[in-house]
Structures are given as structure tokens and as C-alpha cells.
């Protein structure tokens, strides 16, 4: 039995006292707010909401008490109306509305990334995805049928969420029951046999008691315009029952069930792409491969036996209580369970795997399909999060204080299988792959290996927003996260080791206990009532095993003997609302430094946490209504990334971070004519993507930059029905959407395609 226990100092009484700490902290503030001497109220002016279909007024999290224009941090809010105009159906598609954020990484050599593999400002943010403020782990594609808005937080989110990506997080805000009877939905048909239907029904059950029921559902069975065979099939339901909507105490009971049965995609060979050369390193060198033709990106190199099954269940209870106009409490409890089971065929285009029996006849060339990957993983989460908001004055200072307590238990189970039980496939013809090739020996069998990991976390945080007059807003906050993580793994020997024969099962027990502290501080000045200039400094930390996976390898940052990865971000920016708060302009300059990266010393060949990476840049944004009926959402990002200390990470040796475009741009605009016809369109630009390095020979070191333009038109055929036509990739541009670490495989972008949607509402 191997046991590794962290040597860090821990606070053994943290869990015992954390509940008392939050109570002691908030009670005097609440008492002060409710017992303060009466004072003359200032004049109150009631102004109608200037919010429109694209521009949000605030972020959804209760941790952000001010309007976006008065929040000293880069936050992009993507509203459902923008998502619907573009015909986006997954989180990855919706995130195209924030520049430089996307699923650019296809996976390592032996595995393929599935679902929302989000990179943000140079780092993988896939484990920093939240639903209504609760972490949602799993390599699955999240549907947006039940989403009202998506809040994208740029910069370190450690003070807001605890362990997190160094460069931000994504929070999905779900639809809730309201006191309004309404029925809406859509039916979509499109290229590649795309078929999709949604329904959204809200009913008031008792207006006097504020009881309402909302029911959302989706069913989809769609191909992929870019690929043969690949299919996305899913259905989901999301009921929401609310009580007391017109009272100080509101209760929401929410449930989500998702069932997916997809055909996964292992990618397309990069043979023939710019930068591709022969993979041979020894004679005979097949130089004719340097000029090989590009393969058809529609070709499917997997097997008809491949599958990707996903099931998710999420039950949430949310309580909101207004003690007074100055004291509010919110509590959210959730149990969630997500399981993913897939069998996926991929490949490695090495010299040995790429055969050319007749060099002059490419129709005889073959590619071995030996990478059959099995994944059987289940994630569970139980959490209770309480947050109190208290407003009070101390002399000339007006405070809004937010304090919270979060208790969370997360579990992850991975089941191992006998590799040979995935069966074997004959090599595929490089230029004419056959997914119907018979699979020999397919009989999935568990082999007793796998890993069970769990982490319990107790978190305490406090934010204070302080207003001084009508010109200055200061914010400071701190968060403590105490966690205990264990991983019980069983591996199998693949070589004789220590006298033990091949096939011996080796158990390992890995543990880590630690307390993370994060903080942020900002100052904001308001030149006018509708503008701000701000400066921010904030930290974030990511301990080993952030994705609930430990490693015993000394070269892995997931080894529990290492200290957390530490991030510091500084940002200065400005935000301006124009046209009676209907249009928002933002600009920010930032620098993020990430240290404690694991590096090998070239002299003693030992591993130390001396590595440091940096990303800095500028982001510009405009969102809202330019004039009556004219909406716009656009953003530009320039990211300068570098390895400040440690080995270079890119395949071509450039001192930059991988899967991060240096320049990125996104824009969408729409205009509604007097007769109800709405026309819209947009474009997005993604700069060159540098891939990682792992010794692969002959593969492209990067994916080229690209532009893609889309268009939309909708028309109300009646007061209840609109027809919406979307046309994607107007110029039919060929581009690489994602590339894997070795450069053997890539995901092609969708070619020109179209969809027709009937949107109805009653």
C-alpha cells in the first residue's frame, strides 16, 4: 500500500469554528442595520429600466452587489436573446461571444477532449464552470435550453469560488419560475439532418401566495455539418417550482435531468495541412509525404461501435429571504450527479502507424486505429451555500457587506477496463476511412483498476463594498477554503517491477489537506453617474488535484507533495454607459502571473516548483442598443503570453502559451425593421493557435488564424410565430477549430450550413 500525505500545516479546528465565525461576523452588522437611528431619506427618483435584449445590468451572483458599470472587474454577460439569435445550443457555442475564450484543445495523444473544454486567457478553465454558483465538473457538452444568461468572469476567481482556473470562471444562470403565464418554444431543422425542439411553459398556480411552476424541455437528434457519422442526440427536462414570489421569503425547487447518447469524434488526421511533413526519422525517409494531399475533413476515422453516453441529474433548493431592505439572506442546497461512459476510437499518425505500400498510389495508404479509449466516470456533488447581504452606514461611508459559508462534498469515480476488451479495428484507408469496418474482440470488461476521489471543502468569505460620496467605490474581499482530499487508486503493472509480475494490481492512497487564502482589492472612481475608472488586484490558487485526479509522478503538478499553483492579477479599466444606459463600452488592461509551476532542474534533474507563466493584454467590449431596434455585441482581445521561468511549452519553441490566440475578435449585430423583419449577422476572428510539445515528428506546430462570418433573418408570420433563418460560415471557410497536443489530429470547423427555426410564444 502506497500512502502519500501532504506535509503542509493545517488548521485542525477550522471546520469546528467556521459556522460560529460567520454568525459572529454577520450578526452585529445585521443588528446595526436594523437598529440604526431613523434618518431623513434622500430624494428618490424612479427611472424605467434601460436594460435591453443584449445588455445586462448586473451579474447574477449575490457576491456582486453593484451594477456592471460600477464593478471593478472584467465580467461579460451573455444573455439568452443573443444566444437565440445566433442559434447557439451549447455552452461552447455561446462562449464565442467573448473573445479569446473557446474549446481550442482536442486532447492528449491517448485521449480526446469531449464537451466544454474551455481555454481562457492561456489556461484551461474546464473545471471552473458553475451552474447558479455551484461547481459543475464533467467533460460533457452543456445545453443552454434552460439558461437565462451566462456570466464570464475574467481574471482570478479564487476569492469568489475557491479553487479555480488562474484566469477566470463561467457561471450559467438557469431559468426560474415567475408570476407570469407564458408558453414559448422552438422547432429547428438544419443542415446535416439537424433536428431540435424546445418548450418553455410557465404557469401561475396561486397568484396570492406567489406560487408558480415552470417547465423547460429539449429534444435533439442532429448530425454535424463538418463531419460524417458524428451525431448529437439528447433530451432533457428542467422543472422549477417557486413559492412566495411576491413575498419577502421565496423558495425555488429546481430539477434537471439530461440524457445524451452521442457519437464522439476522435478527430481528423493533419496529413496535408500547412506545416505537415513526413513523420519518418530513420531511413527510408518518405519525402513524398511532405506534399501529401489534405484528407477530406468529413471523413470519420472512428468506428460505428463508438458511443458517448451522458446522464446528469441535479436537484436544487434555493431560499431567499429579505429581513429588511438592508438585510438579505440566500441559501442554496444541491445534489448533483453526472455520469459519462464512452468508447472512442482515435489514432496517432506516427511513422509506424502510417503505411504507404504504393507510394505513387495514395488510395493504398492506411492509418492504424489502435487508440481505443474507454472512459467510465461519475461525478457527484453535495453542497450548502449561505450568503448574507447587509447594508449600513458608518459616517460618510456606505457599506454593502456580503458574507458567506459554503460546505461542499465532491466525489469522482473512474472505472478501469481491460484495454484489449475494446476490440481491434483494421487500419483505415487514409483517404477513404470506413467506420463500418468490423471490430474484433469487442467485449468491454472491467479489470479492477480505477480511482475513487473525494474532497470536502469548508469555505468562508467576506466582501465589503464601500461608497464614499457619489464618486468613489472601494471593494475588498477575502476567502478561506479548508479542504480534505483523498484518492484511492488501483493501477496495473505493465512491466515486471520489484519482483512483481505483469498484471499485478497496485493500490495507492493519496491524501491532501490544506487551507487556501485568497483576496482582492479594488478602487473605482466615477467621472460621471454612468461611467467608472478602476484598478484591481486579486489572487487565486489551484491546489494539486483540482480536477479530482492525483498523480504520484514527480513531474506532475497533480502530485500532492507540491504546494498550490498561485496566481496574481492586476487590472485597470474603464466602463461607460451611453444612450440613457442602453449601450455599454468597456476597456481593460491586465496582467496575470502564475507561479509554482513544476519544472526539472537541468543540473541535478530534480523537479522543483520554479516555473512561472504570464499573460497580459487588453480587452475591449461594446454591448447594447446603438439606436432604436439596433442591437450590438462585440469584443476584441489581445493576449501576450510568455513563460517567464521554465521550459517552453509550444511545439515550435515560441515563448508563448498554447491554445491561446494572440488576437481574437467577435461581433454580432441585429436590426428590426418597421414591418418586424429582423436581420442580423456577425463575424469572429481567432488568431494562430500554438499547440503543445511532446516529441511528435512532422506534425503542424500551430493552427492558422481564421475569420468566420454568419448571418440571420427572422420574420413574424403571426403574433405568435416567428421564422428564423441562420446561415453559418458564409464564405465556406476551411479552418481548424481545435488541435491535439501531438498535432496528429484536429477538429475541423463547420463549413457553410443553414438552419430554419420556428419560434412560438403565447
Check: CB of residue 287 under 8 Å from CB of residue 274: no
pLDDT digits (tens, 9 = 90+) for 237-257: 999 999 999 999 999 999 999
Distance between CA atoms of 149 and 147, rounded to whole angstroms?
6
H or E element, residue 17: helix 14-35
Look-up of cell digits 412560438: 760
Distances (CA, A) of 47 to 44, 51, 581: 10, 12, 11
pLDDT in tens, 199-217: 999 999 999 999 999 999 9
Mean pLDDT in residue range 579-583: 95
Grid cell locating 567: 496566481
The answer, yes or no, to whether the previous bond of 289 is cis (omega within 30 of 0) is no
Q: Which residues contact 727 (CB under 8 A, 6 or more apart)?
A: 710, 711, 712, 752, 753, 754
Residue pointed to by grid coordinates 465556406: 732
The alpha carbon dihedral of 90, 91, 92, 94 has a sign of: positive
For range 142-166, the mean pLDDT: 91
| Average pLDDT for the chain | 91
Percent residues over pLDDT 90 in the chain: 83
Highest mean pLDDT among 18-27, 64-73, 151-160: 64-73
Q: Is 12 helix (H, G, I), strand (E, B) or coil?
A: coil
Question: Residue 87 — left, alpha, or beta (φ > 0 → left; ψ -120 to 50 → alpha)?
Answer: left
Query: Among residues 762, 759, 578, 761, which one has the least CA distance to residue 188?
Result: 759
Give the integer Cα–Cα distance in Å for 78 and 756: 23
pLDDT tens-digit map of 332-345 = 999 999 999 999 99
pLDDT digits (tens, 9 = 90+) for 380-438: 999 999 999 999 999 999 999 999 999 999 999 999 999 999 999 999 999 999 999 99
Full-model pTM? 0.91
Q: Is the pLDDT of residue 535 over 90?
A: yes
Q: What is the pLDDT of residue 396?
A: 94
Cell 464552470: give the residue: 129
Q: Which of 71, 77, 133, 124 is nearest to 101 (CA)?
A: 124
pLDDT tier at 34, thresholds 50, 70, 90: very low
How far, in Å, CA of 214 to CA of 410, rounded? Answer: 29
CA angle centred on 747, ends 228 and 277, rounded to 5° = 110
Tell me the per-residue pLDDT of 663-701, one tens digit each, with 9 for 90 and over: 999 999 999 999 999 999 999 999 999 999 988 999 999
Cα separations in angstroms, 505 against 377, 451, 493, 509: 20, 12, 7, 13
* Strand order across the beta sheet in which 736-739 lies: 268-269, 745-748, 736-739
Q: Is the peptide bond before 567 cis (omega within 30 degrees of 0)?
A: no
Q: Residue 27's pLDDT is what?
A: 38
Cα–Cα distance between 266 and 368 in angstroms, integer? Answer: 13
Residue 360, Cβ density class (10 Å: 0-12 exposed, 13-18 middle, ≥19 buried): exposed
Residues 6+ apart with CB under 8 A from 533: 524, 525, 526, 527, 572, 573, 574
Per-residue pLDDT of 79-105, as tens digits, reads 999 999 999 999 999 999 999 999 999
Q: Beta 439-442 vs 422-425: how paired, if at all?
A: antiparallel
Burial status of residue 553 (CB atoms within 10 A of its CB: 0-12, 13-18, 19 or more): exposed
Residue 473, helix vs strand vs coil: strand
The whole-number pLDDT of residue 483 equals 95
Say how far apart CA 413 and CA 111 lie, in whole Å. Answer: 18
What residue ranges in 469-581 does DSSP mark as E strands? 472-492, 505-525, 531-542, 565-578
Q: What percent of the chain has pLDDT over 70?
A: 93
Residue 532 phi, psi (nearest 5) = -155, 155
Query: Which pLDDT score, from 0 to 100, does residue 547 have?
Result: 86
- Residue 145: alpha-carbon gap to chain centroid: 16
Asked whether the predicted pLDDT for residue 300 surpasses 70, the reply is yes
pLDDT tens for 468-507 read: 999 999 999 999 999 999 999 898 887 877 788 888 888 8
Could you report the per-residue pLDDT of 607-648, keeping only the tens digit for each? 999 999 999 999 999 999 999 999 999 999 999 999 999 999
Instruction: Please give the pLDDT value at position 44.
Output: 46
Q: Which of 50-54, 199-203, 523-527 has the lowest mean pLDDT?
A: 50-54
Domains of the chain, CATH where assigned: 2-35+49-281+299-368+381-425+466-761 (2.40.170.20)
Burial class (CB in 10 A: 0-12, 13-18, 19+), 680: buried
DSSP characters for 675-686? TS-EEEEEEEEE
Q: Which helix (H) or strand (E) holds 32?
A: helix 14-35
Predicted local distance difference test score (pLDDT) of residue 442: 96
In this model, does residue 131 exceed pLDDT 50? Answer: yes
DSSP 158: H
Amino acid at each position: 500500500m502506497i500512502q502519500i500525505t501532504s506535509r503542509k500545516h493545517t488548521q485542525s479546528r477550522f471546520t469546528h469554528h467556521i459556522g460560529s465565525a460567520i454568525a459572529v461576523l454577520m450578526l452585529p452588522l445585521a443588528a446595526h442595520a436594523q437598529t440604526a437611528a431613523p434618518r431623513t431619506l434622500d430624494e428618490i427618483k424612479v427611472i424605467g429600466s434601460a436594460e435591453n435584449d443584449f445588455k445586462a445590468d448586473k451579474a447574477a451572483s449575490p457576491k456582486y452587489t453593484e451594477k456592471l458599470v460600477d464593478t471593478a472587474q472584467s465580467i461579460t454577460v451573455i444573455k439568452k436573446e443573443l444566444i437565440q439569435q445566433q442559434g447557439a445550443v451549447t455552452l461552447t457555442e455561446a462562449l464565442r461571444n467573448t473573445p479569446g475564450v473557446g474549446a481550442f484543445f482536442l486532447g492528449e495523444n491517448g485521449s480526446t477532449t469531449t464537451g466544454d473544454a474551455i481555454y481562457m486567457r492561456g489556461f484551461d478553465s474546464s473545471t471552473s464552470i458553475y451552474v447558479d454558483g455551484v461547481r459543475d465538473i464533467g467533460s460533457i457538452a452543456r445545453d443552454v435550453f434552460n439558461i437565462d444568461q451566462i456570466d464570464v468572469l475574467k481574471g482570478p476567481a479564487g476569492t469568489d469560488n475557491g479553487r479555480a482556473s488562474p484566469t477566470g470562471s463561467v457561471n450559467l444562470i438557469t431559468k426560474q419560475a415567475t408570476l407570469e403565464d407564458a408558453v414559448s418554444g422552438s422547432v429547428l431543422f438544419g443542415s446535416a439532418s439537424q433536428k431540435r425542439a424546445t418548450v418553455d411553459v410557465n404557469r401561475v398556480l396561486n397568484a396570492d401566495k406567489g406560487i408558480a411552476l415552470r417547465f423547460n424541455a429539449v429534444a435533439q437528434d442532429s448530425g454535424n455539418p463538418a463531419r460524417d457519422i458524428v451525431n448529437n442526440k439528447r433530451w432533457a427536462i428542467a422543472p422549477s417550482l417557486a413559492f412566495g414570489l411576491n413575498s419577502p421569503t421565496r423558495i425555488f425547487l429546481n430539477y434537471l435531468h439530461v440524457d445524451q447518447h452521442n457519437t464522439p469524434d476522435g478527430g481528423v488526421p493533419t496529413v496535408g495541412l500547412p506545416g505537415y511533413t513526413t513523420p519518418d526519422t530513420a531511413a527510408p525517409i518518405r519525402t513524398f509525404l511532405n506534399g501529401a494531399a489534405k484528407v477530406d475533413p468529413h471523413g470519420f476515422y472512428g468506428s460505428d461501435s463508438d458511443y458517448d453516453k451522458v446522464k446528469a441529474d441535479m436537484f436544487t433548493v434555493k431560499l431567499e429571504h429579505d429581513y429588511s431592505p438592508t438585510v438579505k439572506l440566500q441559501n442554496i442546497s444541491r445534489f448533483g450527479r453526472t455520469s459519462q461512459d464512452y468508447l472512442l476510437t482515435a489514432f496517432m499518425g506516427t511513422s509506424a502507424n502510417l503505411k504507404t505500400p504504393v507510394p505513387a498510389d495514395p488510395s493504398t495508404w492506411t492509418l492504424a486505429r489502435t487508440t481505443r479509449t474507454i472512459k467510465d466516470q461519475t461525478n457527484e456533488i453535495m453542497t450548502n451555500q449561505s450568503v448574507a447581504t447587509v447594508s449600513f452606514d458608518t459616517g460618510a461611508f456606505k457599506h454593502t457587506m456580503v458574507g458567506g459559508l459554503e460546505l461542499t462534498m465532491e466525489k469522482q469515480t473512474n472505472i478501469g477496463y481491460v484495454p484489449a476488451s475494446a476490440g481491434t479495428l483494421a487500419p483505415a484507408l487514409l483517404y477513404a476511412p470506413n467506420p463500418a469496418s468490423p471490430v474484433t474482440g469487442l467485449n468491454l470488461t472491467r479489470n479492477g483498476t480505477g480511482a475513487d476521489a473525494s474532497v470536502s471543502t469548508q469555505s468562508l468569505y467576506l466582501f465589503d463594498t464601500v461608497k464614499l460620496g457619489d464618486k468613489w467605490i472601494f471593494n475588498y474581499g477575502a476567502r478561506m477554503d479548508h479542504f480534505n482530499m483523498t484518492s484511492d487508486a488501483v493501477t496495473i503493472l505493465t512491466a515486471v517491477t520489484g519482483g512483481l509480475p505483469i498484471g499485478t494490481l497496485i493500490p495507492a492512497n493519496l491524501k491532501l489537506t490544506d487551507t487556501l487564502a485568497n483576496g482582492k482589492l479594488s478602487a473605482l472612481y466615477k467621472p460621471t453617474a454612468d461611467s467608472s475608472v478602476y484598478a484591481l488586484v486579486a489572487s487565486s490558487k489551484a491546489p494539486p488535484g483540482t480536477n479530482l485526479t492525483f498523480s504520484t509522478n514527480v513531474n506532475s503538478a497533480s502530485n500532492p507533495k507540491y504546494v498550490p499553483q498561485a496566481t496574481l492579477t492586476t487590472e485597470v479599466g474603464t466602463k461607460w454607459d451611453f444612450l440613457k444606459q442602453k449601450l455599454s463600452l468597456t476597456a481593460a488592461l491586465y496582467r496575470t502571473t502564475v507561479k509554482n509551476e513544476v519544472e526539472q532542474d537541468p543540473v541535478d534533474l530534480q523537479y522543483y516548483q520554479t516555473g512561472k507563466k504570464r499573460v497580459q493584454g487588453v480587452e475591449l467590449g461594446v454591448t447594447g442598443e446603438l439606436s432604436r431596434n439596433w442591437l450590438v455585441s462585440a469584443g476584441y482581445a489581445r493576449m501576450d503570453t510568455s513563460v517567464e521561468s521554465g521550459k517552453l511549452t509550444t511545439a515550435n519553441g515560441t515563448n508563448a502559451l498554447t491554445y491561446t490566440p494572440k488576437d481574437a475578435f467577435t461581433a454580432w449585430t441585429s436590426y428590426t425593421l418597421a414591418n418586424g423583419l429582423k436581420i442580423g449577422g456577425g463575424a469572429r476572428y481567432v488568431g494562430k493557435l500554438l499547440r503543445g510539445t511532446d516529441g511528435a515528428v512532422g506534425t503542424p506546430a500551430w493552427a492558422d488564424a481564421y475569420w468566420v462570418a454568419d448571418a440571420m433573418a427572422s420574420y413574424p408570420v403571426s403574433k405568435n410565430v416567428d421564422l428564423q433563418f441562420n446561415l453559418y460560415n458564409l464564405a465556406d471557410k476551411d479552418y481548424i477549430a481545435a488541435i491535439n497536443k501531438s498535432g496528429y489530429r484536429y477538429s475541423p470547423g463547420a463549413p457553410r450550413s443553414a438552419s430554419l427555426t420556428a419560434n412560438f410564444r403565447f
